[in-house]
Amino acid sequence: MKHHNSPSLFSFSLAYVAATVVFGIVLSIVLTQTVAAAENAAAQREHERMSPEQRQIQMDAKFSAIDTNSDDMISQEELAAADLPHPRRGKGRHFGRKHHGEKGGERDNSSASSEKRTQRHADKRSEMQGKLFESMDSDSDGTLSRDEFAEIHTARKSLMKQHMFRHMDKNKDGFLDGDEFSPGHRLRN
């Protein structure tokens, strides 16, 4: 009895290994997202359980940490230097989304390309922080008072919704039609 490896057995084995690797990667991403969602939900529940006095103490501590020159006002530079976490993903969270301008999520890992991505990210972050600051600076004096800073959560949510809407409105007509509004996109309250 002659034993030989057939191409179909090799192809099946290779496909099985590839499927196992892909499954492992997908499982890892899902678990990471699940853990992050659980952490965010726990933080939200804790925030909701806080008394108004505790929330005020927490907000005052955040304000003081950002107000590095202790003038009881936050400048745009101080806010930009604060490195605030992403409102839904937390600090440093980036769940494998494909980067703008890249096909299929594949990255060009050259150092020049990496530097361009880093610069694009920094530019976008700076632009969003500028918009956030402007939306919170209700008296347009170029600084945020404690009362203005207290509106940071509302301002961030509003900016995120506007950004998501612009991203979804592919034909830029100011409306979302059935093709643009897919079940995968949600605007949260």
Same-domain status, 79 and 12: no
100 in a domain, yes or no? Answer: no
Same-domain status, 168 and 142: yes
Same-domain status, 40 and 72: no
CATH number of the domain encompassing residue 146? 1.10.238.10
131 in a domain, yes or no? Answer: yes
Same-domain status, 116 and 181: yes
What is the average pLDDT value for the chain, to the nearest integer?
76
Other Cβ atoms closer than 10 A to 24: 10
- Tell me whether strands 143-144 and 74-75 are parallel, antiparallel or unpaired: antiparallel
Which secondary structure element, helix H or strand E, spans residue 143, and what is its range?
strand 143-144
Same-domain status, 65 and 124: yes
Same-domain status, 138 and 167: yes
15 in a domain, yes or no? Answer: yes
What is the extent of the structural domain holding 123? 56-85+110-189
- Look at the pTM and tell me if it is higher than 0.85: no
In tens, the pLDDT along 15-37 reads: 788 888 888 888 888 788 788 77
Domain count along the chain? 2
What does the pLDDT average to over 56-71?
90
In tens, the pLDDT along 154-187 reads: 887 888 888 888 888 888 898 888 777 765 555 4
Least Cα distance to 163 among 118, 129, 119 occurs for 129
